[in-house]
Structure 1
Amino acid sequence: MRSSVMPTSSQDGPPQPSAAVSALGLRKSYGDKTVLDGIDLHIPAGSVFALLGPNGAGKTTTVHILSTLIAADGGRAQVAGHDLAGAPEGIRAAIGVTGQFSAVDGLITGEENMLLMADLHHLPKAEGRRVTAELLERFDLVEAARKPAQSYSGGMRRRLDIAMTLVGKPRVIFLDEPTTGLDPRSRHNMWQIIRELVSDGVTVFLTTQYLEEADQLADRIAVLHGGRIAAQGTAEELKRLIPGGHVRLRFADPSAYRSAAGALREATRDDESLALRIPSDGSQRELRSVLDWLDSAGIEADELTVHTPDLDDVFFALTGTDRPHQPHPSHQSNTPDQPEEAVR
Structure 2
Amino acid sequence: MPQNAIEFSDVQKRYGDKTVVDGLSFHVRTGECFGLLGPNGAGKTTTLKMLLGIANPDAGTIMLAGESIPARSRIARQRVGVVPQFDNLDPDFTVRENLLVFGRYFGLSASKTRAKVDPLLEFARLQNKADARVAELSGGMKRRLTLARALINDPDVLVMDEPTTGLDPQARHLIWERLRSLLSRGKTIMLTTHFMEEAERLCDRLCIIEEGRKIAEGAPHALIAKEIGCDVIEVYGAAPEALREELSPFAVRTEISGETLFCYVDDPGPVNARLAGRQGLRYLHRPANLEDVFLRLTGREMQE
Q: Does the alignment reach a TM-score above 0.5?
A: yes
Say which SS state the counterpart of residue 38 (structure 1) adopts. Answer: strand
Displacement of 1:91 after TM fit?
1.2
Change (3 A) 1:200 1:269: closer
- Are the aligned partners of 1:22 and 1:40 in contact in 2 as well (CA < 8 Å)? yes
Aligned partner of 2:200 among 208, 215, 221: 215
CA distance in 2, matches of 1:48, 1:79: 15
Displacement of 1:24 after TM fit?
0.4
Task: Tell me which protein shows more strand as a share of its residues.
Answer: 2
- Are the aligned partners of 2:123 and 2:178 in contact in 1 as well (CA < 8 Å)? no
In the other structure, the counterpart of 1:314 is 293
Displacement of 1:311 after TM fit?
1.1
Identity, in percent, stands at 38
In the other structure, the counterpart of 1:8 is none
Question: What RMSD over aligned residues (CA atoms) do the two structures have, in Å?
Answer: 2.5
Displacement of 1:103 after TM fit?
2.2
Runs of at least 5 residues in structure 1 that lack an aligned partner in the other structure: 6-17, 248-265, 275-305, 325-337, 339-344
In the other structure, the counterpart of 2:270 is 270
1:266-317 alpha-carbon deviations (Å, 9 max, x no partner): 978739959xxxxxxxxxxxxxxxxxxxxxxxxxxxxxxx975311111111
In the other structure, the counterpart of 1:42 is 27
1:173-209 alpha-carbon deviations (Å, 9 max, x no partner): 1100010000010000000111111111110001001
Say which SS state the counterpart of residue 240 (structure 1) adopts. Answer: helix
Change (3 A) 1:268 1:32: same
In the other structure, the counterpart of 2:58 is 73
In the other structure, the counterpart of 2:257 is none
CA distance in 2, matches of 1:110, 1:272: 54
Say which SS state the counterpart of residue 199 (structure 2) adopts. Answer: helix
Displacement of 1:140 after TM fit?
1.1
Aligned length: 262
CA distance in 2, matches of 1:242, 1:128: 48
CA distance in 1, matches of 2:268, 2:198: 33
CA distance in 2, matches of 1:65, 1:24: 12
In the other structure, the counterpart of 1:202 is 187
CA distance in 1, matches of 2:20, 2:152: 32
CA distance in 1, matches of 2:302, 2:49: 26
CA distance in 1, matches of 2:271, 2:149: 60
In the other structure, the counterpart of 1:115 is 100
- Are the aligned partners of 1:114 and 1:164 in contact in 2 as well (CA < 8 Å)? yes
Change (3 A) 1:125 1:237: same
What amino acid sits opposite 1:318 in the alignment?
A: L
Change (3 A) 1:141 1:29: same
Once the two structures are superposed, the pairs formed by residues 6-85 of structure 1 within 5 Å of their partners are: 18-85=3-70
Say which SS state the counterpart of residue 37 (structure 1) adopts. Answer: strand
Change (3 A) 1:127 1:188: same
What amino acid sits opposite 1:311 in the alignment?
A: L
- Are the aligned partners of 2:12 and 2:60 in contact in 1 as well (CA < 8 Å)? yes
What amino acid sits opposite 1:56 in the alignment?
A: G
CA distance in 2, matches of 1:82, 1:51: 21
CA distance in 2, matches of 1:149, 1:198: 27
Displacement of 1:26 after TM fit?
0.9
CA distance in 2, matches of 1:141, 1:233: 36
Displacement of 1:73 after TM fit?
1.1
Say which SS state the counterpart of residue 108 (structure 1) adopts. Answer: coil
CA distance in 1, matches of 2:84, 2:271: 53
What amino acid sits opposite 1:20 in the alignment?
A: A
CA distance in 2, matches of 1:196, 1:176: 19
In the other structure, the counterpart of 1:99 is 84
- Are the aligned partners of 1:242 and 1:309 in contact in 2 as well (CA < 8 Å)? no
| Structure exhibiting the larger radius of gyration computed from Cα positions | 1
Q: Does 1:236 align with 2:214?
A: no
In the other structure, the counterpart of 1:171 is 156
Change (3 A) 1:244 1:72: same
